Structure 1
């Protein structure tokens, strides 16, 4: 019997009652819906009929942004929004997931194994996430993982640790599909962390909708410039009347062709600032931006030409502090994705080298091979500990700038080496698409390049 089918209210190992639920327990309660669907039993790796339209694998595309949804203004303008409280700090360096966190990880891991992993190769080829995967991510509550309970989410406390564990578990299935499914929730989390009362009440109800109409949304910080400095974006915001005018180009924007809301980074009065931009805003256009890796996330360019936004479109502070925190939380998310993908490499090459024979014995018997596998495991554990340490400090509301810098450095260097060693261990098999290691190698090279797109 699967783990998901065992999640039943009231049992010893079931979902906690409303009186006893811990923060993550609220999400687990929602996960029960997945057990009632036939999603896991009827997954089909379809070849999207719209591939001819969304032909980014060859020639790319250019289109106006999705303008199907109108977000009705609500809430009190200028008033601070609701904020989740920080997790209690025990003072003990214990990174063992709590009971509810572990239950959440188990459910997401099963989703990654049974839904994400089988769809990964076709999604990478098509540069698009299958509908079944996107639908499943909504059913297990990914868009509302970082929202406080008061805003329709699942957390009473800051959930950076839970988000890190979820990102790692999803990336073990596939990094590209993990990014595609986490992107909308990243925007919701940003609004939950820094949005005003009006911004939260205008946009967040759509992310907690139970009718399957959760909007695609994208965090756009990256830019296609040489020696790009994320803290000094080239995209500009200038004051105009009672609002702002944005100009520039953002790159590597996940699912930008279907996104209905963007969080865009731009320079205002010399400081980096975040802006909420609806897809229906005049002057926005999307172009295909297929990359070497993370292809299943449908990467795009977002072109802004004299895009006018109102004064209340600013998300957070205008002194650069909100933007900087966003960058750090994004880098933390990419570290978690690197750890998950690195674990996938280790889990794949270990049985391979034990079963692959050369000169009458398994190649694992050779020290050069055994040492390489051991080195993957050692570096992966170092990456995980640094990432968890940064996540735990972020969840507790402590300064985690040093910790996330160390984690990103380790995940950038060692993650790429893990991908390279994985390909090397498979020999000729590591170079062909019959085995997934070549895809994981391409994905792991994104860690030191990507800025924004996802956050925890």
Structure 2
């Protein structure tokens, strides 16, 4: 059943209605078959992102002057949740694309914003976010990909790992080392997807999110114009961490949507499935399990909305974002696990999407900073470190 939402404007309510219509008509009916096909063929649903781009969904929290919709983050995240309840790979992909635009929108010069943002926000382009490396995941300061200045350009060499949209993106928001000064030596670049020397590894064979194509991105002497460096040399770490605060909220919202979808299925099944002459939902033990699932989903939603409202108010939200990511993704893992249990043997089969959602939930506790890293972030804020 549709989630009842408290939205700030009538425009936002209309937007949610449009996204629900797209989700019901074009995403939910296609998701299971597309995920099954992509498990063996690395199929990527680029047409879906084109549709979302044409509807303005890929540009929601960015300024109208550059082609965005200038929506509050709390509205954008509820859109992500709606997508997550229908097709998790698409919700994650939308969150990733939004993340790739952030450095230009928040740290770019006026000239860079005017040159780059219209294409990024038009819906015609799809971005990838190149931060992690084979030996530098949570420890971003150990990054080895380098960008050497050569006249009016930089030459980038190295490898990035676990990159969504690898091989399908039109540009790559890339972090590379411009000096050996640890985390202070990182810089940010926008690398065109057709740049010479850019290549891609074989897509990873994952346990879920098959339509979220993930692979290595290989930079072999990729030359990038100096005016595609975002911020000053050495600003990369600050840009990456600021972007990740917002990106964590995207994953929190997507995970909440995933959990909501699993809860809806469990409630529907429990009301229809009969044992001993009555629906299994009439058994108090199972009814209480459904109540706990609802509490987990509602708590996750409240956590990400609180963080989003802090962000929209211009207040510090890093700790709240880490809390939201931790709470929402743990909730997704719990609720999808319980959904499989409610469906019993049927939940363990591919006849229902519960087993797919269960597999998809696991990675939400890992990407955009593992939940162990979220606990580290939260504890450091609490202890003033």
Gapped regions of structure 2 (runs ≥ 5): 370-385
Q: Any conservation in 1 of the 2:80–2:94 contact (CA below 8 Å)?
A: no
Residue of structure 1 equivalent to 2:341: 424
Residue of structure 2 equivalent to 1:89: none
Distance verdict in 2 for CA 1:345–1:191, change over 3 Å: same
Judge which range, 260-269 or 412-421, deviates more: 260-269
Cα distance in structure 2, aligned partners of 1:387 and 1:224: 30
Task: Write out per-residue CA displacement over residues 184-208 of structure 1, whole angstroms, 9 at most, x where no aligned residue.
Answer: 4443344222222232233223245
User: Aligned with 2:316: secondary structure?
Assistant: coil
Residue of structure 2 equivalent to 1:285: 199
Cα distance in structure 2, aligned partners of 1:412 and 1:182: 15
User: Aligned with 1:295: secondary structure?
Assistant: coil
From 206, 214, 220, the equivalent of 1:299 is: 214
Q: Any conservation in 1 of the 2:199–2:217 contact (CA below 8 Å)?
A: yes
Deviation at 1:146, TM superposition (A): 2.7
How many positions carry a matched residue from both structures? 353
Cα distance in structure 2, aligned partners of 1:132 and 1:178: 14
User: Aligned with 1:203: secondary structure?
Assistant: helix
Deviation at 1:154, TM superposition (A): 2.0
Cα distance in structure 2, aligned partners of 1:245 and 1:95: 49
> How high is the TM-score relative to the length of structure 2?
0.84
Q: Larger relative contact order (C-alpha < 8 A, sep ≥ 6)? A: 1
Q: Any conservation in 2 of the 1:233–1:266 contact (CA below 8 Å)?
A: no
Deviation at 1:131, TM superposition (A): 5.2
Cα distance in structure 1, aligned partners of 2:368 and 2:37: 23
Cα distance in structure 1, aligned partners of 2:68 and 2:134: 34
Cα distance in structure 2, aligned partners of 1:229 and 1:246: 22
Cα distance in structure 2, aligned partners of 1:347 and 1:97: 25
Deviation at 1:245, TM superposition (A): 3.9
Cα distance in structure 2, aligned partners of 1:106 and 1:122: 25
Cα distance in structure 2, aligned partners of 1:124 and 1:225: 29
Q: Any conservation in 1 of the 2:159–2:216 contact (CA below 8 Å)?
A: yes
Greater per-residue helix proportion: 2
Runs of 4+ in 1 over 4 A off after TM superposition: none
Distance verdict in 2 for CA 1:233–1:199, change over 3 Å: farther
Q: Any conservation in 1 of the 2:303–2:324 contact (CA below 8 Å)?
A: yes
Q: Any conservation in 1 of the 2:145–2:159 contact (CA below 8 Å)?
A: no
Cα distance in structure 2, aligned partners of 1:238 and 1:208: 26
Query: Given the alignment of the two structures, is residue 326 of structure 1 paired with residue 243 of structure 2, yes or no?
Result: yes
Q: Any conservation in 2 of the 1:95–1:388 contact (CA below 8 Å)?
A: no
Gapped regions of structure 1 (runs ≥ 5): 1-93
Task: Write out per-residue CA displacement over residues 266-297 of structure 1, whole angstroms, 9 at most, x where no aligned residue.
Answer: 34432243321112223321121232222112
Distance verdict in 2 for CA 1:273–1:164, change over 3 Å: farther
From 109, 114, 124, the equivalent of 1:196 is: 109
Residue of structure 2 equivalent to 1:254: 164
Q: Any conservation in 2 of the 1:164–1:336 contact (CA below 8 Å)?
A: yes
> How high is the TM-score relative to the length of structure 1?
0.72
Cα distance in structure 2, aligned partners of 1:229 and 1:116: 32
